[in-house]
Amino acid sequence: MQEAVKSQWSTRQLERQINSFFYERLLSSKNKEQVAMEIQTVESVKEPEDVIRDPYVLEFLGLTPNDDFYESDLEQALITHLQKFLLELGRGFSFVSRQKRITFDGRHFRIDLVFYNYILKCFVLIDLKVRDLTHQDLGQMQMYVHYYERELMNEGDNPPIGIVLCADKSESVVKYTLPENETQIFASKYKLYLPSEEELLRELNQEYQALEAGKTEEKKIGRKKNFASGWCKIDATYILWEKGCTNGISIV
């Protein structure tokens, strides 16, 4: 309810956010703890990952997964329903431009949609893909973001962020294309219908498992680093470590 008050949602908008599992999708972002705190407090969002959602629900466009449409059709539908799209994007977004042209070395490139978020104080670039995400899509968005950062940022702006909005994505493609701890480039799926509770729970569970797997791997790496010779206990197993060596003798 506090989020509804802060965002000044109407009754219809609040009902739509509940039906589209707004709270659950927001909590599926990378920083669950900070997002949860954001929903409970009146402090402004500070990090880009706190406002990026995955997936975005675009049922208001009237399109279905079985429709044969192009990226230009998707863009036009979003512009036609711009107010509803701004609601789905979240707090602080304002529309800037569509098909924003940037030019260098005699070549022209066009960014599908450009927004500005006054809470993050940065431009938000969106590229639309009606197919699965590729590493080329992420590389293209990196170019757009870097261009904006070096040529079009205003004084006082934070670095721009880019979102590749795609029909589907591979987490491995994202992981191995983008640098570790990437904070400016994001890939999110879109859904053309309101997901069922079962679908959403399945999606959230996959996100949770991926995050937990990442935390487990980080803990393992942390245990192996900067560790002198000696005994340690890991998961009820005693292991003898030699400095600079990852092999040990275990005793249950």
Which domains, from first to last, does the chain contain?
Answer: 2-195 (3.40.1350.10)
Helix runs in 20-120, H state only: 22-27, 32-40, 71-80, 82-89
The pairs formed by 13-18 with CB atoms below 8 angstroms and a separation of 24 or more are 13/87, 16/87, 17/87
Tokens of 13: 């908008």
Query: pLDDT tens digits, residue range 208-244?
Result: 776 677 666 666 655 554 444 444 444 444 444 444 4
Residues 6+ apart with CB under 8 A from 211: 30, 32
What pLDDT was estimated at residue 239? 43
In terms of pLDDT, which residue wins out, 224 or 106? Answer: 106
Residue 207: is its pLDDT beyond 80?
no
C-alpha pair distances (Å), 139 with each of 24, 163, 171, 221, 245: 30, 12, 15, 29, 37
Under the banding of pLDDT at 50, 70 and 90, the label for residue 169 is very high
% of the chain residues with pLDDT over 70: 64
H/E segment holding residue 216: helix 197-224
Distance from C-alpha of 172 to C-alpha of 177, rounded to nearest angstrom: 8
Mean pLDDT confidence for 151-180: 94
What pLDDT was estimated at residue 223? 55
What pLDDT was estimated at residue 97? 95
